[in-house]
Structure 1
Amino acid sequence: MSSPWTDPAVAPDWRLAPAALAVWLATMAGLLLVWWWAAVVGLLAVIAGVVVVRLARGRPGMVRWWRQGIGWSLLVCGLVVGIGGTARLRAAAEDPLREHALAGGEGVFRVTVTERPRPLFAAGFGGRQGGVRAVVIPARTRGAVVGGTTVVSSGRVVLVAPVDRWAALLPGQDVTASARLAPARPGELTVAVLRVRGPPTALGVAPAWQRGAQELRAGLRDAASVLDPEPAGLLPGLVVGDTDRLSRQVEEEFQTAGLAHLLAVSGANLAVVCVAVLLLLRVLRVGPRGCAAGAMLALVGFVVLAGPEPSVLRAGVMGAVGLLALAMGRERGALPALGTSVIVLVLWDPAMAVSVGFALSVLATAGLVLLAPRWSERLARRGVPRGLAEALAVPAAAHLVTAPVVAGMAGEVSLVAVLANLVAAPVVAPATVLGVLAALVAPAWSWLAELLVRVAGPEVDWLILVARHASRVPGAAIGWPEGWWGGLLLVACVLLLVALLRRPRLRVLVCAAFSALLVVVLPVRVISPGWPPPGWAMVACDVGQGDATVLATADPGRAVVVDAGPEPAPLVACLDRLDVSRVPLVVLSHLHADHVGGLAAVLDDRAVGAVGVSAAREPDWAWEEVRELAGAARVPVVQLEAGRRLTWPGLVLEVLAPQAREVMPGAEAEGTEINNASLVLRAATSAGRVLLSGDVELAAQATLLDSGVDLSAEVLKVPHHGSRYTSPELFSAVGARIAVVSVGAGNRYGHPNPTTLGMLDRTGALVVRTDMDGDAAIVPGERGPRAVTRGTARGPPPRARVRRRSGRTWWCGGASVSARRCRVRTPAP
């Protein structure tokens, strides 16, 4: 009996798969290595095609036809990518603008915008996290004058420009700009980055259809404003991929829950719209040809509405493949369409070969075509209702095949993605259709658009609810190695699991192991979590490159927060893990973005008594935002000065600096001046005294030391993330036994500085780093404070230092594990 996978007459039609893979790999090699590697891989494909065609001679009719199809497709595609694809890659690699970009000159450039401007969130020192200060605009060069010399170039460029006047540009618009050149990232077709400061000049007119699409998208955003802020930001993202107004917290929750694909235009969006049009036309009894024409018009119209960007065009092609599979009811006709799509898209835009989104689209479509129908059929044969079987098989297949790419890119694997997608799926289609209808009617009947948006509101609220609860499930996402090796490791694990499940006896063992995990391990982790450690007095939250410290009071669920980190989601997750529901005071040591970015999340989710700030009011945008957020939450803003003493049960907070008479930074202040205006606090906790030094640098440190104020403390929050602008005299005056460095892994500032770490080492302090150890808690001990780290941050822990200075080293593998698996670090006497 022939197998459906071996008999050419009934097997899936794989003939174009080798050719598509050859085009993809050749282009990828040309981009990531050197352009001529595309020609090498193309030549290998041609040779392979010739060999396969020759070997097909003399075979039976069906086998010969099958193998000849593979051989000829390899030969033709190898020639096309080896000649045409290589020529395009060479032209981009040798574009004269690249040399000028390496030299970093300035010039005047005439470009054509190719994609809509994307917001650039600048989370850094002095950058604005709470809003958008710049946009990124992909474009193509039409003419350039660099240093008085005319440069002939038609290469791709990326403009980094101010929001004012630049954010309103549309694809197809010509614009002239003065800019400084910077090199582009390797492995891309982009030849240069243009850093623009002034406004655009000589603006051309965008095509009429682009202006119309922009009006529709703006109408959807305006109509969505009748909803609460979070669903108002999500609905345009769900419908047309417009996430400009989406809160970072919601975005992070969708990522953790495995729902991030809903925030970008994908083939699923197009399939939903086209299926809705098909159903409507069938109700109206339109014939097959009319239905096909209507679905095609809907597909083209949706692409225009979302914007003809590479990601949207890719989604259009993949959505067409999904519709083909749906129409045929089997994968045999869809696989050649998928192969053709890959070949055409990569040849049309070689940059897609190294696009993660492209890889995810191809893999997801292949999973839906190859795996989902078989899995749903098997479930149906085992008695599962067919509708439920398809609802289970579709997200499971898509998640399984895309998990290696997501794991290698994000460094984590979502364990709740399948269930979250299953629960969210019923409302995605109605919300999308209602959103599209609202966009279409908004220019003419705004009241009708608002009505449609209100009808879509509950569905959008449900999606946010699912993502929020799924992301907060203990162990919702587990850490995984990043990069290619991480992806390959997960592929190996998946293949091993599949191999085990194919054997009946081993299948029983695997099911028993998973049952034990669900019945025993997970309840234990939820009921008896190992984090936070009992009696914790202070926790330095792992919020990336920024500061966020939580100080416990004697009242359960009540804690003071000092600084809010660069983004909302990490701080919210930390407070959730600590079960903090009431915050009597949020202290902002200074107004740089890496200290205030998560303030909105604290004000939204917790009962906050007040926001404390210093006399410094710079940067101005941050001060205005703090006032607006606090005002909206009806939380007072209070000024803290040296000598102020704040008391709660189990916690006393002293303000040591700055003095009221000190000169505060002005409107033109640099980052160092703002850092030196940081509040310096000392907290008396159950574990001892804690000195919180903000980002003070050498000048402010010298002022502190000269003032004669008592700086001694058992625990020191190291200033400015361990930067080199720290004096050894400060460390000596504090005399801390434990030094906590709040810093982001792989940051571009070189924090913490090796010299600073060396100074701490000479004082005998135990150094704890959030980039290596994750959340760091300080707990009381018999001989003084101890450090307990959660161990979820990426990067190798400093094991040599732990063995030398700590008698016990326990590791904590997650947010909810038994306490004996946590790392407890006791400083040397």
Structure 2
Amino acid sequence: MNKRPLVWFAVFWMIGSTIGAEFNSMGIVMAAGGMALVLVALVLLKQATPRLAAVCLLGCALAAGERLWADARNVTALAGLDVPDASYEVEVSGTIVSAVEVDGDRAAFRVTADTVCVQGKQPLKLRERLLVQVRLAEQPHQEIAAAWHRGDKVRFAGELSLPAGASNSGGFDYRRYLSSQHIHWLVKVTGIGAVHAAPGPGWTAAAVLGRVDAARDWLGARFDSLYPADQSGYMKGLVLGIREDLDPDQFQQFSRLGLTHILAISGLHVAVFIYALGAVLRLFRMTRERMLITLMLAVPLYVLLSGSSPSVVRAGLMTMLGLLAARMDKLKDGLHLLAAAAVGMLMWNPYFIQDVSFQLSFAVTAGLILFVPSVRHAMPHWPKGKALLDLLVVTIVAQAVSFPLTIYYFNQFHLLSIPANLILVPFISFIIMPIGAVALFLGLLWPLGGQLLAAVSVYANDWTFLLVEKLGAVDIVHSIWATPPLWWIAAWYFILAVICRLLPATPSAVHKEDTDETIPLQEAAAGQDTAPIWELQEEQQRPIWQSRFAFITAAGLAGIALLLYAYFPDVLNRTADVDVLDVGQGDSIYIRTPQGKRILVDGGGTLSFRKPGEEWKERSDPFEVGGKVVVPLLMKRGVHAIDLLVISHLDSDHIRGLKAVLDAIPVRSILWNGSIKRAEDAEGLLSEAVRKGIPLYRAELGQQWKMDKETAITVLWPPPASNKTIPIVEEQNDDSVVLHMQIYESTFLLSGDISSEAESAILSRLDQADAEGTSSQSLKQQQQLDKSIDVLKVGHHGSRFSTSEEWLSFWRPLQAAISVGATNTYGHPHPDVLNRLKAAAVDAFRTDQDGEIRYKVNRTGIYEQIIKQK
């Protein structure tokens, strides 16, 4: 620690910032005490001086205090209105402080309000940052909205509401995300007629940034003229950091292989920019001192022009600090620059500590600086292949460092990510990106020359996309990981550091170091004093290579144990989960049995009401509940494969999200109602299942599925088919698959979208079986269907024509779960249904009010968890 005090100060500053962000007051006190004990131990082990330990502890406390102070100030000025699910009519005047994004029938921007009038009351003079979404009624209105700029003065009227919180366990918390950007309210405006914009003062910060936005848009438009439609968005992201026009499917393919960092402007892009600009300046015979100053002044312009994301801000700060140190002839190692950049960014905005881009950028950069030399020295000296070995080491180290954060946030890892990065990162970074940048600026002076140069990269991009698609399609090496705990991430980095610290250098590397550099005796002695205590003890008993091998082996085994724990986190968990997911107006139920079998009943579905001629309203990345909600939730829960997918029926609000599930997660078998519906999504889903070779089973009354020894599923509906043909059924509700599920001694009834008529038919079948004494009666006795059930999944989202008194009287449920959308226009759940549940003394939970409804089941019984934020 004593050799790099700034680095350790930065480490404890980041720890303090994390403590302030994640813990309450008691947790902060306990965490601070733990940090103090760690520093005391380091002092006693002579790894840190008392002064350095005190400074680090002070930095940790200051960072935590800064975060608490920031949280205390990060509150809404509209006190008394922050009531969940409430909305208010408001009139607002203020200044646009972000670029205006026009996507389909919506324009979105951020406003710093100076006057807010709530529901016709006296206007309030205040400063409040708002997110504004304007619904566009006609296609020409897109051009009008696109003419609004950052820095414009704006007045508008709309509906004020709180952003949505996380309504599923582990789901995206939009409210928290906006709060980290000091936004606490969302305003929805209907029509551009409710918005009045005019140019604001010309030299405010917002107006200056508005000119930067205009320059970015203008440069982006040049890419539209140089590249075909399927490549222009990709090149904008690669060169300018404009990712709004990147095709979502294309981005998903890059994400699957862990290649999205290529599309994020980062240190590599800044390095290429500095190298290219430096080469140009050298052509003008500029002195070294002037060139360093010129480059230092050029970096902020590039940071602004490329979007100012945390990764490019980090790279820009490091570059400026490095250039400044070089100008003063005091250039230190890159770790000091990284530490200074980290502390500077967190001092400016402590909320950066929770930004994924910030975390990945600093972690990977620090890992490359710390671990690459050790790993490289442990590899053989190969003069002819030095560049290839260097690239291989950088790729492997970057993957190892980013791995825990990747599975924590994205829950997937593709083994072919390593060769994909090895091949594509240098190819794209050193060939495609420079060609695109040169083609852009050459096209400004000589359009034909720019087009000819761009044409070279067009063919290269086609091969890049093809390679990414083919590699990503190899599902056998694509793995899904549950979100690991934070202690696991810390343990992974500790083991990685131990292994890299103890790696022995190859004889050729040692010989090269001995001949290239001489270490003073004082430094050698200092190095012996600071060696780890375990190495000193081992050296007295055995050769150093043996002690290194023993520790590396132990660390490697610990790393394997960590991987197994992360991939199978619930292998010993015998508590079952039944989760009614909040997917809006639709159904999706995830079940994990006590033995770890995975069942998914329906996948929700986002309904579209587009009319012919309204294609312009389609957004570039429309919300789709399967890809945005269901798949991420399943991945976060470590669902490697779905053992049984139940398609209750083929209505869109139950199946449209399943396409994304089939694309992302292996499905081993499908149980469906045995019919076909003439609809694009229904036919497409069944065709995709057949194409993938997934066995399809028709559900029939009396079928039993024994998932494991504690879990049994009985099909109560639909009735057996009269022939072997698959019927076409347009009205699917009363053909829904109805399941009776028993886990340990707890029972669930999943009733799809059946109406009271189907309910009566099911009960008649059960009564008939009882009277005739058929095999169905034996089945009924085995499953104890005449006993009360614990949980009823209310049919058809609480429709008035379902969940009859007869149905409730027969099953006598203790609880009811209603899957329903908060903004549905059907009136679900109907008051009559709620009254019938209340009269039957059934406790009812609703996804629109309670969020995801989670049931934990073990041998002692069942208990529920309500997720939604209030």
TM-score (norm 1): 0.57
Q: 1:153 to 1:208 in 2, by over 3 A?
A: closer
Report the AA paired with residue 92 of structure 1: N
Compare CA radii of gyration and give the structure with the larger one: 2
- For residue 178 of structure 1, what is the aligned residue in structure 2? 157
Paired residues for 1:219-258 under 5 Å: 219-224=219-224, 227-258=227-258
Q: Distance in 2 between matches of 1:428 and 1:393?
A: 18
Paired residues for 1:1-80 under 5 Å: 8=2, 13=4, 15-33=5-23, 68-69=51-52, 71-72=54-55, 74-75=57-58, 78-79=61-62
Report the AA paired with residue 337 of structure 1: L
Q: 1:418 to 1:73 in 2, by over 3 A?
A: same
Q: Give yes or no for contact 1:237–1:263 (8 Å, CA) kept in 2.
A: yes
Q: Give yes or no for contact 1:404–1:488 (8 Å, CA) kept in 2.
A: no
Q: Give yes or no for contact 1:144–1:153 (8 Å, CA) kept in 2.
A: yes
Q: 1:494 to 1:26 in 2, by over 3 A?
A: closer
Q: Distance in 1 between matches of 2:228 and 2:601?
A: 29
* 1:160 and 2:133 matched: yes
Please give the per-residue CA displacement for 1:133-166, whole angstroms capped at 9, x wherever unaligned. 4355344343322232444543443333336455
User: What is the CA RMSD across the aligned residues, in angstroms?
Assistant: 6.1
Q: Give yes or no for contact 2:738–2:751 (8 Å, CA) kept in 1.
A: no
- Aligned-residue offset at 1:72: 3.6
Q: Distance in 1 between matches of 2:231 and 2:12?
A: 43
Q: Distance in 1 between matches of 2:60 and 2:857?
A: 52
Q: Distance in 2 between matches of 1:593 and 1:286?
A: 65
Q: Distance in 1 between matches of 2:720 and 2:329?
A: 67
Report the AA paired with residue 16 of structure 1: L
Gaps of at least 5 residues in structure 1 are 1-5, 120-130, 516-539, 549-563, 572-576, 579-587, 602-612, 617-622, 627-637, 639-647, 651-680, 706-710, 717-721, 738-748, 764-770, 772-793, 802-829
Report the AA paired with residue 106 of structure 1: E
Q: 1:250 to 1:217 in 2, by over 3 A?
A: same
- Aligned-residue offset at 1:684: 11
Query: In the alignment, which of 709, 727, 742 is matched to residue 755 of structure 2?
Result: 727
Q: Give yes or no for contact 2:16–2:59 (8 Å, CA) kept in 1.
A: no
Q: 1:685 to 1:287 in 2, by over 3 A?
A: farther
Paired residues for 1:180-199 under 5 Å: 180-184=159-163, 185-186=175-176, 188-198=180-190, 199=192
Please give the per-residue CA displacement for 1:3-40, whole angstroms capped at 9, x wherever unaligned. xxx7x5xx5x2x23443344434444444456x78996
Q: Distance in 2 between matches of 1:174 and 1:241?
A: 27
331-340 or 368-377: bigger deviation:
331-340
Q: Say which SS state the counterpart of residue 265 (structure 2) adopts.
A: coil
Q: Give yes or no for contact 1:231–1:464 (8 Å, CA) kept in 2.
A: no
Paired residues for 1:313-332 under 5 Å: 313-317=313-317
Q: Give yes or no for contact 2:404–2:492 (8 Å, CA) kept in 1.
A: no
- For residue 109 of structure 2, what is the aligned residue in structure 1? 137
Please give the per-residue CA displacement for 1:18-71, whole angstroms capped at 9, x wherever unaligned. 43344434444444456x789969987998999899x79xx99xx98x664564
Q: Give yes or no for contact 2:241–2:265 (8 Å, CA) kept in 1.
A: yes
- For residue 302 of structure 1, what is the aligned residue in structure 2? 302
Please give the per-residue CA displacement for 1:536-559, whole angstroms capped at 9, x wherever unaligned. xxxx999954499xxxxxxxxxxx
* 1:353 and 2:353 matched: yes
* 1:489 and 2:488 matched: yes
Q: Give yes or no for contact 1:43–1:78 (8 Å, CA) kept in 2.
A: yes
Report the AA paired with residue 143 of structure 1: T
Q: Distance in 1 between matches of 2:111 and 2:424?
A: 36
Q: Give yes or no for contact 2:226–2:450 (8 Å, CA) kept in 1.
A: no
- For residue 825 of structure 1, what is the aligned residue in structure 2? none
Gaps of at least 5 residues in structure 2 are 137-141, 164-174, 201-205, 503-547, 561-598, 608-623, 632-639, 642-649, 664-675, 684-690, 694-717, 741-749, 767-775, 777-792, 812-818, 820-851, 860-870
Q: Give yes or no for contact 1:219–1:443 (8 Å, CA) kept in 2.
A: no
Please give the per-residue CA displacement for 1:603-653, whole angstroms capped at 9, x wherever unaligned. xxxxxxxxxx9999xxxxxx9xx9xxxxxxxxxxx9xxxxxxxxx9x9xxx
Q: Distance in 2 between matches of 1:402 and 1:194?
A: 34
Q: Say which SS state the counterpart of residue 258 (structure 1) adopts.
A: coil
- Aligned-residue offset at 1:491: 5.2
Query: In the alignment, which of 74, 77, 92 is matched to residue 92 of structure 1?
Result: 74
Q: Distance in 2 between matches of 1:76 and 1:92?
A: 22
Paired residues for 1:604-623 under 5 Å: none
Q: 1:470 to 1:143 in 2, by over 3 A?
A: farther
- Aligned-residue offset at 1:724: 6.5
- For residue 746 of structure 1, what is the aligned residue in structure 2? none
Q: 1:263 to 1:387 in 2, by over 3 A?
A: same
Q: 1:386 to 1:500 in 2, by over 3 A?
A: closer
Please give the per-residue CA displacement for 1:327-347, whole angstroms capped at 9, x wherever unaligned. 999996222222221221112
- Aligned-residue offset at 1:507: 7.3
- Aligned-residue offset at 1:412: 1.9
- For residue 367 of structure 2, what is the aligned residue in structure 1? 367
- For residue 101 of structure 1, what is the aligned residue in structure 2? 82
Query: In the alignment, which of 201, 216, 220 is matched to residue 196 of structure 2?
Result: 201
Q: Say which SS state the counterpart of residue 74 (structure 2) adopts.
A: helix
Q: Say which SS state the counterpart of residue 258 (structure 2) adopts.
A: coil
Q: Distance in 2 between matches of 1:730 and 1:228?
A: 54
* 1:455 and 2:462 matched: no
- For residue 815 of structure 2, what is the aligned residue in structure 1? none
Q: Give yes or no for contact 1:30–1:37 (8 Å, CA) kept in 2.
A: no
Q: Distance in 2 between matches of 1:21 and 1:512?
A: 27
* 1:475 and 2:476 matched: yes
- Aligned-residue offset at 1:104: 3.2
Please give the per-residue CA displacement for 1:335-362, whole angstroms capped at 9, x wherever unaligned. 2222221221112122212212211111
Q: Say which SS state the counterpart of residue 236 (structure 2) adopts.
A: helix
Q: Say which SS state the counterpart of residue 180 (structure 1) adopts.
A: strand
- Aligned-residue offset at 1:259: 0.4
Q: Give yes or no for contact 2:90–2:159 (8 Å, CA) kept in 1.
A: yes
- For residue 784 of structure 1, what is the aligned residue in structure 2? none
Please give the per-residue CA displacement for 1:245-303, whole angstroms capped at 9, x wherever unaligned. 32222111111101011222223322222223234444665432243234334422322
Q: 1:497 to 1:70 in 2, by over 3 A?
A: closer
- For residue 381 of structure 1, what is the aligned residue in structure 2? 381
Q: 1:340 to 1:505 in 2, by over 3 A?
A: closer
Q: Distance in 2 between matches of 1:21 and 1:752?
A: 54
- Aligned-residue offset at 1:682: 14
Please give the per-residue CA displacement for 1:386-419, whole angstroms capped at 9, x wherever unaligned. 2112211222222222211221111223322222
Q: Give yes or no for contact 1:277–1:294 (8 Å, CA) kept in 2.
A: no
TM-score (norm 2): 0.54
Q: Distance in 1 between matches of 2:655 and 2:214?
A: 31
Q: 1:258 to 1:596 in 2, by over 3 A?
A: closer
Q: 1:547 to 1:278 in 2, by over 3 A?
A: same
Q: Say which SS state the counterpart of residue 145 (structure 1) adopts.
A: strand
Q: 1:215 to 1:732 in 2, by over 3 A?
A: farther
Q: 1:754 to 1:287 in 2, by over 3 A?
A: farther
- Identity, % of aligned positions: 21
- Aligned-residue offset at 1:461: 2.8
Q: Say which SS state the counterpart of residue 184 (structure 2) adopts.
A: strand
Q: Give yes or no for contact 1:424–1:463 (8 Å, CA) kept in 2.
A: yes
